[in-house]
């Protein structure tokens, strides 16, 4: 599976996809909404303010082209690292160093089959519904609920045990230093 920014200047390959993913997830938190509004990409949110992501292990992503176009944002000094292809302002992924989770925005998944994400089934978990807008016709947990934990914990535990955060293309070889100096958006 390949991911790509809107203009195609940034591309990356996801090895072993969809084998190592817990599937489609949606977050309605105010941080995700704030971030996408600050970078003028609210169009990525669903009609209720949700962000659909498909997590993969950081070690399983290989940047093919466009590394130089990456920008990194954080909402705070301790916030998530949020990666964007600056060429066309496409949100790519969220992550943090040393954590076996790379939450890739659903909008960057590309394949010759436009229904390829459908092979993952429905969205498995929706969290932070207390920040959702309007009246969603589906259930969203107010925070992180048991269903969400049961969906992602096996993925995270496996990733920790197998050291799947090592070798992330978004961090230097030390695994902690981002390849781009992050810009703090709330400053």
pLDDT digits (tens, 9 = 90+) for 53-78: 999 999 999 999 999 999 999 999 99
Taking residues 4-11, report their average pLDDT. 95
Q: What is the pLDDT of residue 114?
A: 57
Q: What percent of the chain has pLDDT over 90?
A: 86
Question: Cα(166)–Cα(59) distance, rounded to whole angstroms?
Answer: 6
In the chain, where are the structural domains located? 2-184
CATH architecture assigned to 2-184: Beta Complex (2.170)
Cis peptide bond upstream of 154, omega within 30? no
Taking residues 96-111, report their average pLDDT. 91
H helices of 57-177, in order, are: 146-161
Q: What is the pLDDT of residue 111?
A: 65
pLDDT digits (tens, 9 = 90+) for 23-44: 999 999 999 999 999 999 999 9
Question: Cα(155)–Cα(171) distance, rounded to whole angstroms?
Answer: 21
pTM: 0.92
Count the residues in the chain: 187
CB contact at 8 A, 134 and 47? yes
Question: Cα(68)–Cα(1) distance, rounded to whole angstroms?
Answer: 21
Q: What is the pLDDT of residue 115?
A: 59
Q: What is the pLDDT of residue 112?
A: 59
């Amino acid at each position: 599976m390949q991911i790509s920014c809107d203009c195609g200047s940034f591309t990356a390959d996801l090895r072993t996809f969809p084998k190592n993913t817990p599937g489609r997830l949606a977050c309605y938190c105010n941080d995700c909404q704030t971030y996408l509004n600050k970078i003028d990409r609210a169009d990525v949110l669903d009609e209720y303010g949700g962000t659909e992501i498909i997590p993969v292990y950081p070690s399983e992503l290989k940047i093919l082209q466009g590394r130089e176009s990456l920008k990194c944002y954080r909402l705070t000094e301790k916030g998530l690292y949020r990666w964007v292809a600056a060429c066309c302002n496409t949100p790519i992924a969220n992550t943090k160093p040393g954590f076996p989770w790379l939450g890739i925005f659903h909008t960057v998944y590309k394949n010759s089959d436009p229904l390829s994400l459908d092979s993952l089934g429905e969205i498995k978990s929706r969290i932070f519904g207390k920040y959702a807008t309007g009246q969603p016709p589906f259930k969203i947990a107010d925070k992180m609920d048991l269903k969400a934990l049961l969906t992602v914990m096996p993925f995270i535990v496996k990733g920790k045990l197998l050291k799947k955060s090592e070798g992330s293309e978004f961090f230097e070889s030390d695994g902690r230093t981002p390849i781009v100096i992050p810009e703090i958006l709330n400053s």
